[in-house]
Structure 1
Amino acid sequence: MKPPKPTPRADKVSLWRYAKLFRQDLLSAQPQRLYRAWMAEFRTPFFRSYLVNQPALVDEVLKQRTDAFPKSDRISEGLRPLLGNSVFLTNGDVWKRQRRVIDPAFAGGRMKDTFPAMLAAADQGVHRLAQRLGADIEIEEVTSHVAADVIFRTLFSVPIDHEIAAQVFAKFKAYQREQPLLNIAAFLRMPRWMPRLHSRKTRETARDIRHLIGRLTEERAKLIAAGKAPDDLATKIMTTPDPETGRCFDTDEMIDQVAIFFLAGHETSASALAWALYLLALYPDWQDKVADEAQAAGRPGFASMSQLKICRDVFREALRLYPPVPMMVRETTCPEGFRGRNIEKGSQIVLSPWHLHRHERLWDNPDDFDPERWQTENGKTCQRSAFLPFSAGPRVCPGAGFAMIEGPLILSQLLRRYRFETIPGKSPVPVAHLTVRSKDGIWLRLGGR
């Protein structure tokens, strides 16, 4: 049995049909040929897009010539009501300044400092499930809760049941379901002075989330001024001056950054953890291996995380099969020549972890769940050249190392205590919202171990 995958559309459909499919689900709207093509061109009346899967081209765009391929506004427009001018959306000197301030907070030494907060969130997640033994549970809600708890504990030193944290979590659940990945104003490339055509509900929810984050940020600024702030990620980021300008983030800038930390650190982790638990339920022999490894490792500590090799490979395989961010879009700043094609300035370059991670010409048995692949020569090669769950190059997610500790830690803690089983007739269907989620949730039966 292979893990679930959207049924690709026929290779040729009308533009109208493609637009309708795209709006419903980004993944199933794409043709089967993208799983074997090195490059594909998509033409619309408004712009040209080129999806690139060839590792050398991906490397050129993400690593070798980053400044020549900035992030595209066509994706940014849909997220701007929530994320403002965050590091996820900016380009050029603004982005470089933001990374100079943010990156030190996620350096290796800081990860050791945040580990106790991660472990506390994992423990609480395990505890919350104790009352639901024998029940059928929607596992995306469970992983969203624990991932949000991790973010609030590591960022602001407050648990998820903190009044403001709980409100942000509730509002964000609504936002991620109602927000389309591509905003129509960006699709048509409307001038900046024209309305952005975001729905009223989207604007209101984003405004509410940013107001709540603003309250947390302002409270932290007061604690910093009084010399009473905890030594967490928020304090580190808010007190780190740009080494070139000497400026720290002001309140508005910090709201932007916290919004993307919550999106990137909560939404993506929740997606990856939910799919990992489903895969382990689908393959119970692997679930037992993870549980045995977790039991043998005992109470986890930062230093002992290196012992969870099987758990890490399972989490990595979930990221491969269901990358939380399925596509990334860059824009050409000058004419380019890719694989003998002339690409005009302003064209969209689409990098698709979804297709790259399942590419038939790169991976052995690409649609299979096989955590052992990461110890093979093919797996090691593809990990270097065709594995992009956190992007790559200068714009790699600053929290990538954070996620690779958080994911295996939470999985190991859950599997030490519980057994997860699939439910007949409830196979999840992957779709792309803000991240790769299941169309109707991921339902599993919870048992004791």
Structure 2
Amino acid sequence: MIRPPKPTARPDKVSLWRYVRLFRQDILSAQPARLYRAWMAEFRTPFFRSFMVNQPELLDLVLKQRPMDFPKSGRVSEGLKPLLGNSVFLTNGETWARQRRIIDPAFEGGRLRDTFPAMLAAAQAASARLAPGETEIEAQTSHAAADVIFRTLFSIPIEHEIAAKVFSQFRSYQRSQPILNVAAFVPLPRWMPRLHSRTTKATARAIRALITQLTDQRMQAIKAGTAPDDLATKIITTADPETGQRFDTAEMVDQVAIFFLAGHETSASALAWALYLLALAPEVQNRAAAEARAFAADPSFANLSKLRFTRDVFREALRLYPPVPMMVREASNDETFRDRDVPKGSQIVLSPWHLHRHTRLWDKPDDFDPDRYGTENGKACLRSAYMPFSTGPRVCTGAGFAMVEGPVLLASLLRDWQFTPVKGREPVPVAHLTVRARDGIWLNLSRRDAAPAS
């Protein structure tokens, strides 16, 4: 089996300031190796206590049994507020519940069928953009995932002027490392400025202005009766079944911002790592390519079941390189976890990165093995130790969308292209907004023999 790259863990004990420096460089390598086998670990700082939870029973408690007692932590939201405002990703309580009641119907199974043609068009366009030779594949998957979002949300391709500007500004926003804000480490009073970088604030303003333009145009088209039946129209016209309220422009801008951040950034990350893993494993790649060619004979939503192995490849990429490596909740009451006091206000860290590679849960957790999901261990871990999209009531509303998009994009690329590693350019995983490669993921591309699958 293939064992792909994994960040080097830090020494077990370091000072707070050393930890902050390591965290700013990369969230993953700032953590000690013991977290890959621990059920729970405690971290103390002068400002707050933090508990990482890996035990499946505790995860079930926090995310499924009593999720309202463990709201999303404001520490993570500090760095993202300039772009996301009060989006569903950051809110808690009744505000969050109202937002989900309006958003969720747009991502139900029947709507996924309606968005499939736009996904497929974006996937085919992504394959057509590629060229033989050495390619930094993360740039290509970012382009493809952004195209999917704009086609399904606003019925416009990435080449559309406003879509292209949003994509360009978002790349600048990523490079500003917005999540690394001082308020994530030090509790600041509400009135105090959050010290966001100039680039973070400028690019967030630019992105929100462009999204506002698209949203205003769509609302006018809805009033005129000329709006396409896409995700934006569905969300804007859906009323909260309990209050009858709809999103106004400002609220819709918040939601579109998180759709773009979550739907584009996370899919781009997972797709790039999936292609890299396939480049390391030619036999696995050929199996997926054969599936892709069979699917291409009739690439319809009804035939997605033909991409079963490709789906497992994408699932394995999400396990080894979960786009969102850590999630943070906050204890709203005093708790007791594993006979240990967890005071009110403690940060509860849920880490897909460590859970998905946990040595006490998964067989050969660091190996790339898409066939593991047919084993008893793989099936059991899927139920209790796999959460790339979180789980419970706060599961990502686009999880089903992503699990259609990923295999479709992979299939379109594998049908036409063969991917091999570039010697001497092994990617180093790092995490800021999502799990990416420090210097990109470089692959050699060559056109695949177009002969039909045997």
> Which TM-score tier does this pair reach, normalised by the shorter chain?
over 0.9
Distance of 1:379 and 1:311 partners within structure 2: 16
Distance of 1:253 and 1:15 partners within structure 2: 38
Distance of 1:396 and 1:76 partners within structure 2: 17
Distance of 1:299 and 1:165 partners within structure 2: 30
Secondary structure, aligned partner of 1:333? coil
Q: Is the 8 A contact 2:50 2:348 kept in 1?
A: yes
Secondary structure, aligned partner of 2:303? helix
Query: Which amino acid in the other structure matches residue 212 of structure 2?
Result: G
Q: Is the 8 A contact 1:140 1:442 kept in 2?
A: yes
Query: Which amino acid in the other structure matches residue 46 of structure 1?
Result: F
Q: Is the 8 A contact 2:294 2:306 kept in 1?
A: no
Distance of 1:322 and 1:185 partners within structure 2: 27
Alignment of 1:142-161 (within 5 A): 142-161=140-159
Secondary structure, aligned partner of 1:384? helix
Q: Is the 8 A contact 1:177 1:433 kept in 2?
A: no
1:280 equivalent among 278, 281, 284: 278
Secondary structure, aligned partner of 1:326? coil
Alignment match, 2:65: 64
Query: Which amino acid in the other structure matches residue 206 of structure 1?
Result: A
The gaps in structure 1 that reach 5 residues or longer are none
Query: Which amino acid in the other structure matches residue 311 of structure 1?
Result: T
**Alignment of 1:115 onto 2:116:** yes
**Alignment of 1:5 onto 2:3:** no
Alignment match, 2:134: 136
Query: Which amino acid in the other structure matches residue 239 of structure 1?
Result: T
Distance of 1:33 and 1:185 partners within structure 2: 27
Alignment match, 2:125: 124
Q: Deviations over 1:346-381 (max 9, x none)?
A: 000000000000000000000000000001110010
Secondary structure, aligned partner of 1:345? coil
Give 1:177 deviation, angstroms: 2.0
Give 1:296 deviation, angstroms: 2.0
Q: Is the 8 A contact 2:78 2:179 kept in 1?
A: no
Query: Which amino acid in the other structure matches residue 203 of structure 1?
Result: K
Alignment match, 1:95: 96
Give 1:96 deviation, angstroms: 0.1
Q: Is the 8 A contact 2:10 2:33 kept in 1?
A: yes
Q: Is the 8 A contact 2:154 2:232 kept in 1?
A: yes
Distance of 2:264 and 2:321 partners within structure 1: 16
Q: Deviations over 1:391-439 (max 9, x none)?
A: 0000000110000000000101100100011011000000002100000
With normalisation by structure 1, the TM-score equals: 0.99
Give 1:203 deviation, angstroms: 0.3
Alignment of 1:370-449 (within 5 A): 370-449=369-448
Distance of 2:94 and 2:178 partners within structure 1: 28
Q: Deviations over 1:157-203 (max 9, x none)?
A: 00000000000000001111212424202421111111011011110
Distance of 1:433 and 1:21 partners within structure 2: 12
The gaps in structure 2 that reach 5 residues or longer are 449-454
Alignment match, 2:452: none
Q: Which moved more, 1:73-82 or 1:11-20?
A: 11-20
Alignment match, 2:335: 336
Q: Deviations over 1:217-255 (max 9, x none)?
A: 000000000011000000000000000110100000000
Give 1:443 deviation, angstroms: 0.3
Distance of 2:180 and 2:91 partners within structure 1: 17
Alignment match, 1:214: 212
Distance of 1:267 and 1:300 partners within structure 2: 25
Secondary structure, aligned partner of 2:360? coil
